[in-house]
Structure formats: C-alpha cells, structure tokens
Amino acid sequence: MHLYLHVPFCARRCSYCDFAIAVRREVPSEAFVDAILAEWDRARRSAPWAETPAFRTIYFGGGTPSRLSPKAITRLLRTLLQERPLAPIAEVTLEANPEDVSAELAAAWKAAGVNRVSLGAQAFDPVVLRWMHRTHGAEDTARAVAVLRTAGITNLSLDLIYALPAELNRDWSADLEQALALEPEHLSLYGLTVEPHTPLGRWVDRGEARPTPDERYATEFLLAHERLTHAGYLHYEVSNYGRPGRAAVHNSAYWRRAAYLGLGPSAHSAAGNRRWWNIREWAEWERAIGAGGSTVAGEERLDPAMVQLEDTYLGLRTDQGLPVAALPAATVARWEREGWAARVSDRVRLTPEGWLRLDALVGSVGR
C-alpha cells in the first residue's frame, strides 16, 4: 500500500506556489493528526485498502511537514503502524524545509520511523531565495544535510528549481555544483512555471517579471542532465535523478499507475481506473471530518482510451519507456530520426531532448 499524507501548513507562501497550503504561525499539529486518523479509519475498511497487508511507502508532503511537532508525527506513524505494518525495505519520506531541521527533530523523525527526507533547497543564491520567499539560506541546507546524516537518516533528496527569470542572474551551474558537493542520494529538479493567483503570477501580469523563454528552460534542463549523469546519478524520470538503488519508491508508484491513497486536504487517490481528490482547503476539510461527512471533492473514472493515454504518458516520462509494440512503428522511427527517442532491446525510451517535448510527443502518437 502506498500512502500520501498532505500536511498543508507553511510559515509563508513561496512566490511560485499554487499548492493547497494554510499559512499558520502556530501549527495545529494534534488537531491535524486527529483528523488524518479519522479519515484513515474510514478509508482503511474500504476497497482496495482493506486487502492491503502492509505499507510499502508513506509520504508526508505539503505544505511543510517538518513544521508538525515531533510528537504528532510519532503518534501518527505509531497509530498507522499498529493497524498495518511496514513492508520489508519500506520507504517513509518526510518533506522538510532546511531551516526546520535540528538535531532534536532529526532524532525524533528517525525514532518515529522516517528513513528518507526530501529537503526543499530550491536554490543556493541568497538573492534568489529571497525572491522565492524562502526563509532559509544556503548554509541552512548544508547544515541540515549534516544534521540528518548524523541522526542516521542516510537517504536524502534535494529539490531545486531551474529556468528562473533572467533578471535574477541565477548561476544554475554553480547551484548544481553546490548540490553535488552535499552528495545527496537523490535530486528532484523542477522547471519554474507561472501559475495564476500566485505572487509570481501577479508579478508577470504587472510586467515586473518575465516568463523564462523555452530556450533557457531547455539549456538548463540539458546542463543538469549532463552534470548529474556524469556524477553518477541515474536520470530515471523527467524531473528526478538518483544514485543506483535510490529512486523514489513512492513517486515511482505513481508512474507505474499503482494504487495509492491520499489523506488530508487536497490529497489525491487512485485505484484502477478511478481517481478522486479531497476538499482543497484545510479549514473546510477539517470541518467535514468533524461533521462525519465525506472529504471527497470530486472523482473521475478513466475510460479505456484515457487509461491507454495515461499509460503512454507515464511510461514515456521514465527511463523504462514503453514496449516498442505499444507505439506505431512510424512514430518510433520518426522520433529516432529526430533524436527524441532510442530503442533499447524491445523498448523505446525518450532521450533528454525527447523529454523536453514529452507533452507534444504523446499528443502526436498515432498521427
């Protein structure tokens, strides 16, 4: 069983963020755990979760899960695991902001069962971090890595954002070098997108910032591929790199279309051809829990054509690709001629240049 827990609380909204968050000075940790466990108590008895014997992954995402009290995280994991154990070699991930990490917290996370931490570094340049509305500095990321390793959490991932506006003069190459110097087991690299109703969206609307041209996006994407693969990381998914054996197990379940359960405000779930998602805002979701009502905001069922399209999209975004037979021969031949794909045995996988065109390539299949 793959379980996602959405922790919405943040100290501040980042300039680019359109996630479902709740900015709070004081985090209602115990109330959050009470509500999550109430939602879990309902879900665990229903199909297909009632038949799953153990947790393969548990993922605390957000928001900023590291703002929960260690007591709350411990209680939540202990209660979940009393009802259903962890599978062998299970992955329990906690997203954390670098400034939140302390020796005390890291030790508590480790004792509670967390064995993987994803640090939201995003950048190392102080000017860029201020522009992003981040509340940490580059030194905090390095310190957090050292503290987590000392605590015995040895599976660490760093998040970085690239393709920032040119006016920031961000040195992407230097940021990659600083990230590599910390020797994380995993890195997730995300190209900046301008979303409406975010500070960045408003800056762009007012002409105070400009979206990054596609050429810059492509240049930085390919530079990261070159640097990280040369350093021994496997580029196993469009946005993700890992040391051998360190791919993110939880996220990989999404790309395989495995069933997963999401708990918490805005959390998504999937089983077979069914998709459903929770009430987005924390206060409304908590009220629904307290009233004993449904927390589901919407759902859909994929027809066979949609399932096939999703299989194609998810397969091509990973280094596993798709069986050659799953694609029209003419399409594969054209992609190979253009340098967008390569055949490996009986499978076809996209090259980095192909990944840059993923949406367009999937949309062109069969045309």
> Among 259, 271, 261, which residue's Cα sits nearest to residue 295?
261
The per-residue pLDDT for 47 is 85
Q: How far apart are CA 86 and CA 80, in angstroms?
A: 9
CA atoms in the 13 A half-sphere facing the CB of 335: 30
Q: How far is CA 8 from CA 117, 141, 268, 292, in A?
A: 17, 22, 14, 21
Bond before 323 cis per omega within 30 degrees: no
Band of residue 272 on the pLDDT scale cut at 50, 70, 90:
very high
The per-residue pLDDT for 24 is 92
Look up residue 211 and give its two tokens.
């979206």
Instruction: Tell me the CATH class for 2-255.
Output: alpha beta
The per-residue pLDDT for 120 is 97
For the chain, what percentages of helix, strand and coil (3-state, to nearest 5) are there?
A: 45, 25, 35
Task: Find where tokens 């299949």 sit.
Answer: 365
Interval 24-82: pLDDT, tens? 989 999 999 999 999 999 999 888 999 889 999 999 999 999 999 999 999 999 999 99
Q: What is the C-alpha radius of gyration for the chain, rounded to an integer number of angstroms? A: 21
Cβ partners under 8 Å of residue 130, min gap 6: none
Residue 80 near residue 48, CB atoms below 8 Å: no
Q: What DSSP assignment string belongs to 140-165?
A: HHHHHHHHHHHTT---EEEEEEE---
Residue 43 near residue 49, CB atoms below 8 Å: yes
Q: How far apart are CA 265 and CA 296, in angstroms?
A: 9
Q: Read off the pLDDT of each residue in 106-115 and give the average, rounded to a whole number.
A: 98
Interval 275-334: pLDDT, tens? 999 999 999 999 999 999 999 999 999 999 999 999 999 999 999 999 999 999 999 999
Q: How far apart are CA 366 and CA 320, in angstroms?
A: 21
% residues pLDDT > 90 (the chain): 93
Q: Has residue 131 got a pLDDT over 90?
A: yes
Q: Return residue ranges of the chain for CATH 3.20.20.70.
A: 2-255
The runs of H, that is alpha helices, within the chain are 29-43, 70-83, 103-112, 126-131, 138-150, 172-181, 199-205, 214-230, 249-255, 282-290, 304-316, 329-338, 352-355, 358-364
* Mean pLDDT, the chain, whole residue set: 96
Q: In the 8-state DSSP scheme, what is residue 182?
A: T
Q: In the 8-state DSSP scheme, what is residue 213?
A: P
Helix (H, G, I), strand (E, B) or coil at 38: helix
Cβ partners under 8 Å of residue 144, min gap 6: 96, 98, 99, 101, 119
Q: How far is CA 148 from CA 106, 227, 238, 298, in A?
A: 6, 25, 27, 38
Report CA 303 to chain centroid distance, whole Å: 26
Give CA torsion, residues 62, 67, 68, 70, to 10 deg.
130
- Quick one: 138 exposed, middle or buried, by C-beta within 10 A (0-12, 13-18, 19+)? middle
> Among 212, 161, 213, 165, which residue's Cα sits nearest to residue 189?
161
Q: How far apart are CA 176 and CA 162, in angstroms?
A: 10
Q: How far apart are CA 341 and CA 337, in angstroms?
A: 8
Helix (H, G, I), strand (E, B) or coil at 301: strand
Interval 169-217: pLDDT, tens? 999 999 999 999 999 999 999 999 999 989 999 999 999 998 899 999 9
Q: How far apart are the first and last CA of the chain?
A: 38
Q: Has residue 367 got a pLDDT over 70?
A: no
Q: Has residue 366 got a pLDDT over 70?
A: no
